[in-house]
């Protein structure tokens, strides 16, 4: 099958998920065509085509009209590459551009699969026009998917979707071979040069540092853990809240114990080197970073919110507490880090859950079945 994938290329869960999907589809012999500004951050171009659409469009299209340029490119890609299915990750701009392209292609338009990732579902107080547009996109798509049952409920409610509009839960997945457990801690050497970390516990977090990730909570958790045991924190990723996080680390006197690793392309060696993954977000529709940590055998302490409990089994593969409850998360982190038997049990269960429920090979079968269903309905 030839699949046109539209997604964000910047670091962030939806782009990572779409990139991993492209990689796996290509591995399985499908034609993979990304249409967008760039390939998703972590993806190697081997065997994968990028049909580039510069973010900055020259006049008269202008800088604000990326959606239009994306739709125009998609029309050409469909016409030249015998595309069987368009898969848009995130409603705006990707499904919006796909809908525009499909309108222009008319009878020759391939079916559209829309995957909602969470922050593209309108907030409870969103304007009526926005809800109406997103609702129309969801109703017109040939299939709508979400990564968690929690997001299905929210999407149905906020978009006022009728019962007959099927919304399929297809979880994000992880390459359990690449993201595997191991004892190698050498990835930490460059982050804490000259530091002997043999007795220190290593906490870790990866995200795009948006406010929803509550990055300051990470530092407050570390501060509490540090009162009881030597510990350091590795923060992977880039985003708008990073400067505030750096300032808070300094204010708390933690600068030497916090490493800002920036955008990390090769995450598994870093995850493997860590004892605990933190995800204290205000909200998560899934929590792909937590799944990748679990696949490396790293337990998770995070927020009891959205779809995260569908990934992290509370008490079995990590510990979840109310978003913002730093005391509870710090207490959980201390419990796990000071009890090797408990940490070992959570670690094994985390890896086991990732392999059992979220293995790339299994989830890919569901994507292939869904593509077949929309390409050859009935
Ligand atoms: O969490 C982010 O800031 C990135 C965001 C995105 O849209 O790229 O991630 C969302 O999609 C991911 C992939 O499905 C999920 O794992 C994240 O939980 C979800 N983020 C939120 O719901 C806040």
pLDDT per residue as tens digits for the range 158-171: 999 999 999 999 99
pLDDT of residue 135: 97
Residue 42 has pLDDT above 90, yes or no: no
d(CA 210, CA 25): 30
pLDDT of residue 357: 98
In ligand 1, the atom with minimum distance to the C-alpha of 212 is 23
pLDDT per residue as tens digits for the range 6-41: 999 986 899 999 999 999 999 999 999 999 999 998
DSSP reduced 3-state for 249: helix
How far apart are the CA of 118 and the centre of ligand 1, in A?
6
pLDDT of residue 55: 85
In ligand 1, the atom with minimum distance to the C-alpha of 208 is 3
d(CA 155, CA 167): 9
Pair 84, 1: CB distance under 8 Å = yes
302 — pLDDT class (breaks 50, 70, 90): very high
pLDDT per residue as tens digits for the range 336-355: 999 999 999 999 999 999 99
Mean pLDDT across the stretch 291-297? 98
Per the prediction, the chain carries an average pLDDT of 95
pLDDT of residue 47: 83
The fraction of the chain above a pLDDT of 70, given in percent, is: 98
pLDDT of residue 63: 60
Burial class (CB in 10 A: 0-12, 13-18, 19+), 313: middle
C-alpha atoms less than 13 angstroms from C-alpha of 2 in its C-beta half-sphere: 12
54 — pLDDT class (breaks 50, 70, 90): confident
DSSP reduced 3-state for 34: strand
pLDDT of residue 44: 82
C-alpha atoms less than 13 angstroms from C-alpha of 190 in its C-beta half-sphere: 7
pTM above 0.85, yes or no: yes
pLDDT of residue 81: 96
Residue 62 has pLDDT above 70, yes or no: no
How far apart are the CA of 147 and the centre of ligand 1, in A?
10
How far apart are the CA of 212 and the centre of ligand 1, in A?
10
Pair 308, 149: CB distance under 8 Å = no
How far apart are the CA of 284 and the centre of ligand 1, in A?
6
Give the residue, out of 11, 19, 117, with the most ligand 1 atoms within 8 A of its beta carbon, to mutate for a pocket test. 117
Category of 40 on φ-ψ map: left (φ > 0), alpha (ψ -120 to 50) or beta:
beta
152 — pLDDT class (breaks 50, 70, 90): very high
Give the residue, out of 284, 303, 307, with the most ligand 1 atoms within 8 A of its beta carbon, to mutate for a pocket test. 284
The fraction of the chain above a pLDDT of 90, given in percent, is: 91
d(CA 283, CA 46): 34
pLDDT of residue 45: 78
10 Å Cβ neighbour count for 279? 28
pLDDT of residue 64: 64
pLDDT per residue as tens digits for the range 101-143: 999 999 899 999 999 999 899 998 999 999 999 999 999 999 9
């Amino acid at each position: 099958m030839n699949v046109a994938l539209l997604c964000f290329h910047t670091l962030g869960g939806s782009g990572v998920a779409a990139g991993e999907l492209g990689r796996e589809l290509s591995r399985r012999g499908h034609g993979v065509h990304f249409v967008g500004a760039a390939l998703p951050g972590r993806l190697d171009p081997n065997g994968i085509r990028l049909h580039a659409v510069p973010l900055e469009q020259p006049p008269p299209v202008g800088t604000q009209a990326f959606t239009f340029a994306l739709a125009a490119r998609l029309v050409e890609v469909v016409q030249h590459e015998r595309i069987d299915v368009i898969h848009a990750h995130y409603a705006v701009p990707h499904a919006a551009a796909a809908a525009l392209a499909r309108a222009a292609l008319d009878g020759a338009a391939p079916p559209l699969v829309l995957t909602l990732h969470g922050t593209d579902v309108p907030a409870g107080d969103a304007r009526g026009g926005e809800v109406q547009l997103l609702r129309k996109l969801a109703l017109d798509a040939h299939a709508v998917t979400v990564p968690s049952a929690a997001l299905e409920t929210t999407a149905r409610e906020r978009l006022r979707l009728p019962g007959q509009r099927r919304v399929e839960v297809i979880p994000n997945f992880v390459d359990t071979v690449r993201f595997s457990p191991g004892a190698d801690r050498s990835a930490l050497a460059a982050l804490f040069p000259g530091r002997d970390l043999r007795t220190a516990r290593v906490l870790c977090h990866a995200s795009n540092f948006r406010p929803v990730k509550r990055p300051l909570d990470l530092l407050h958790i570390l501060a509490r853990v540090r009162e009881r045991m030597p510990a350091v924190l590795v923060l992977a990723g880039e985003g708008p809240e990073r400067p505030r996080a750096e300032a808070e680390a300094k204010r708390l006197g933690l600068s030497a114990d916090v490493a800002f690793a920036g955008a990390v392309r090769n995450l598994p060696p870093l995850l493997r080197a860590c004892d605990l993954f933190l995800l204290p977000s205000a909200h998560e529709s899934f929590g792909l970073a937590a799944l990748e940590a679990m696949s490396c055998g790293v337990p998770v302490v995070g927020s009891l919110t959205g779809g995260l409990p569908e990934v992290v089994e509370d008490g079995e593969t990590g510990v979840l507490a109310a978003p913002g409850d730093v005391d509870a998360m710090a207490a959980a982190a201390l419990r796990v880090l000071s009890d090797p038997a408990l940490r070992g049990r959570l670690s094994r269960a985390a890896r086991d859950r990732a392999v059992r429920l979220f293995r790339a090979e299994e989830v890919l079968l569901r994507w292939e079945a869904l593509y077949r269903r929309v390409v050859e309905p009935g």
